[in-house]
A = this chain, B = another copy of it.
Amino acid sequence: MSEVATTGVSVLLVDDHPIVRQGYRRVLESQGDLHVVAEADNAADAYSAFKVHEPDVVVMDISMPGASGLEAIRNIRARNPRARILVFTMHNEAVLVKAAFNAGASGFVTKSSAPSAVVNAIRSVARGERAMSDDIAHVLAEDSLSAGSVLDQLGEREIEILRQFAGGATTEEIAAQLNLSVKTVQNYHYLIKTKTGARTDAQLVRLAAACGLTRI
């Protein structure tokens, strides 16, 4: 991490599609100052590769098979809190973005972004700055009326209900299970959605899965 300024930025590429990785690699290396030192196609390999190469920046698609990408972010950050991780994915849901930053990401860029925006984001996070693409900033701005972290702002009961809901349980089943009135569960359901910024039950499930609350 020390010789960055003179030798450029070393990058670990994490994406589950080989062709996509190959394409990124070529785009990044054509920049001159960006060097892809390793690739990985899953969370576990990403962690291993990080330990070996200690790259300046990890460019990672968080939608990978197997373990959650967010989990990978947490693992890497746990090992080295100075690690810079740029999430680079097609998703642009506020809940996911917040979850990623919450897990320790330094940047979040969607694949809809112009190539120049992506390479600039890599340079930004390499300098220790936070970076995000315009569309992400817009999404977060829209969402900003309810600031805060994603799951950390949920209480015990809310998390339990979210887990059961994401697991496929109906409102009645949850109420019976927890010995609550259906009305209360409905209110929690609504409350969780507003708190997390999820606008859809499906987004809620995806959030729960991303946070490891449920497995799919």
Contacts and interface: CB of A to CB of B under 8 A. Distances in A.
Contacts of A93: 168
A166 interface: yes
A27 interface: yes
A111 B19 contact: yes
A216 interface: yes
A69 to B, nearest CB: 10
Contact of A112 (B18, B205, B209): B18
A181 interface: no
17 contacts: A16-B112, A18-B114, A19-B23, A19-B113, A19-B118, A22-B27, A23-B24, A23-B26, A23-B27, A63-B215, A165-B200, A168-B200, A168-B203, A169-B200, A169-B202, A200-B201, A201-B205
A176 interface: no
Interface string A13-29: 00011111011111100
Contact of A199 (B165, B170, B215): B170
Most-contacted residue by chain B among A19, A115, A209 (CB, 10 A) = A19
A114 B18 CA distance: 6
Contacts of A63: 215-216
Contact of A206 (B20, B111, B113, B205): B205
A15 to B, nearest CB: 9
A170 B118 contact: no
Most-contacted residue by chain B among A168, A170, A215 (CB, 10 A) = A168
A204 B193 CA distance: 18
B27 A202 contact: no
A90 interface: yes
A216 to B, nearest CB: 4
